């Protein structure tokens, strides 16, 4: 997967978790939490979906990497580029 593919995959997952949020204007450099209403349970859902869909494991100590779209993509790229 490319960085763009991962970005789209993350957007698809978030869209399912918070269907009422507008994701079209999410700034990749800013924290998700400043732009959309995502709580800690939502982040857990993202982690579980990544495992289910792509067999990617995000250990708890790495959760801070899921801060913004660009930090998430940077973090996941080495784990997902071979998919």
Among the listed residues 23, 44, 67, 77, the single contact to other proteins using CB under 8 A: 44
Counting contacts by CB under 8 A, is residue 45 touching other proteins?
A: yes
Report the C-alpha dihedral over residues 21, 13, 33, 64, rounded to 10 degrees: 180
Residues that bind other proteins (rule: CB under 8 A) add up to a total of: 15
Stretch that binds other proteins, among 27-35, 51-59, 68-76 (CB under 8 A): 51-59
Q: How many CB atoms lie within 10 A of CB 50?
A: 22
Whole-number Å distance between alpha carbons of 47 and 66: 9
> Among all chains, which residue has been given the structure tokens 């800690």?
40
Cβ closer to other proteins: 27 or 39?
39
- 57 belongs to the binding site for other proteins (CB under 8 A): yes
């Amino acid at each position: 997967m490319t960085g763009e593919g991962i970005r789209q995959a993350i957007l698809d997952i978030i869209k399912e978790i918070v269907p009422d949020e507008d994701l079209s204007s999410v700034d990749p450099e800013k924290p998700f939490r400043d732009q959309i209403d995502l709580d800690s349970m939502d982040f857990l859902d993202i982690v579980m979906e990544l495992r289910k869909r792509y067999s990617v494991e995000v250990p708890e100590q790495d959760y801070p990497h899921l801060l913004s779209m660009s930090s998430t993509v940077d973090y996941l790229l080495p784990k997902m580029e071979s998919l």
